Structure 1
């Protein structure tokens, strides 16, 4: 790609990052204010509020991280990359918990273990969110330790040792990516598969017992699957980007890096839009804050 195309993708990335900051800031503010005022939130809204806050921070750090790398400020970028690692891991797990929450609450499996999980999940959400922060902290510590060891060894004048440490660095972060990012991705994928299977069972029951005029279960299944399946496409590209970035196959100076960033973060932006439009509290807040927009949309 030419320089002009690189600049175009960089401009698009900046605009969508700004839109994501406004969007997720709005969600976090509305639900956070409700959280403080009522001294609590429903489990689903609690996950969405934390997810919006993490995405707000993720877009800030990702933008700074990319531009610091472009300006060759590697020392400063190293610190931001550790912070990005923490926020990204937390954001990935928050997304996974939201998918699991939808799956457990909407699915209609009749196994006793599933009933027990459904009863426990709402009570466990605060602990799951706190656990995500702990996992993010461990991820940041692991990232910082790996970088420190690799940078110290690469400063060695022995080229053979330096080369081996670069190889160790790449291998270390591949394992890091598999543990911290790919694991929640597979849990996310499993939640979608279980929701699809639950919807299939529900439709089979409807075929034998006859359709009902107001089948809220089918509507809930369909809405959750549309949201999760849509995001799965972009979530897959996001995990691939994280994995590829650990191997340094596409560096920040490559034009394709910015194209990939646009595609990836656009998916997060659109998924946040779906969450806003499917949440009654957010729709009500939109009608209050932007009545003209809601009238034009209707």
Structure 2
């Protein structure tokens, strides 16, 4: 039955979806047009474009999932639907998480500086490091897909067997279910640990460089100090969103399959959408090309509204 809580949930899910689509479609369009115009693309723009494309698919999956959960929750026990939604969401989430991780590592090597031979060796081979990480993520995705097949089958069987008295089979299924869920959580720890390490090191490097500029403050260095402070705010915003996304994903993994009939668990999906929706605007504000293009679009839109009103 569609309740007032369901209505609030659907409205918030649609708002998150619209905001996320606006940010990610904008990033994808700007970078694709730049690619066509210059016939070349930088590593950062390539990662940003791929991230935007996969986040659009992720937002579509989550919106569909949210509507089914609010409007027709009983469809969740349908084998094909539950399996399709679960696999599509996890694949899109896997790809977007790893692309965001590669982006944070790329910016770490591009911006940070440490007088360490190993760091300098990796920095010199930055593009190769990113390629290796992407290949590793695809191999890990194949491993996760096998787990997802078993995980979805077990979840549906456990729900159906809860209606019967097959206690022994149910206990064995739940044990396998927990083992698969633990493995899926461990695989998600890898990109989280890489992102957390690279972002914290980048924050330390930027903070140290900013303090050095402030101690040797000259008139010409004021703009550099402000740029570093903006970069620090961007890094911290990204780090905060990534931590929220990590913990909400773990909560969704462990709580949602068990208490999915509870209406309050719907709002876990809203927390999952904060990262793909909010991070796109952080990327726009932190990237000079995207920020200037966004300001131009807003300026033209504002002038168009003034002409329409006059």
Task: State the 1:59 CA deviation.
Answer: 0.5
Task: Indicate the RMSD between aligned Cα atoms, in angstroms.
Answer: 3.0
Match of 1:109 in 2: 114
Structure 1: how far apart are the matches of 2:16 and 2:270? 8
Q: What's the secondary structure of 1:73's corresponding residue?
A: helix
Moved more, 97-106 or 30-39: 30-39
Task: State the 1:112 CA deviation.
Answer: 1.7
Match of 1:211 in 2: 217
Q: Are 1:78 and 2:83 matched, yes or no? A: yes
Task: State the 1:169 CA deviation.
Answer: 0.7
Task: State the 1:190 CA deviation.
Answer: 0.7
TM-score, with normalisation over the residues of structure 1?
Answer: 0.84
Q: Are 1:242 and 2:255 matched, yes or no? A: no
Q: Are 1:136 and 2:141 matched, yes or no? A: yes
Matches within 5 A, 1:1-298: 3-70=3-70, 71=72, 72-74=74-76, 75=79, 76-126=81-131, 128-148=133-153, 158-179=166-187, 181-203=188-210, 205-206=212-213, 210-215=216-221, 218-219=225-226, 221-248=228-255, 251-293=259-301
Structure 1: how far apart are the matches of 2:155 and 2:17? 32
Gaps of 5+ in 2: 305-310
Moved more, 216-225 or 84-93: 216-225
> Aligned residue pairs: how many?
293
Deviations 1:229-261 (A, max 9, x none): 113223222212221222235744433333333
TM-score, with normalisation over the residues of structure 2?
Answer: 0.81
| Aligned partners of 1:96 and 1:188 also within 8 Å | yes
| Aligned partners of 2:10 and 2:66 also within 8 Å | no
Q: What's the secondary structure of 1:277's corresponding residue?
A: helix
Shift in CA distance, 38/203, structure 1 to aligned 2, threshold 3 Å: closer
Task: State the 1:207 CA deviation.
Answer: 6.4
| Aligned partners of 1:54 and 1:90 also within 8 Å | yes
Moved more, 242-251 or 41-50: 242-251
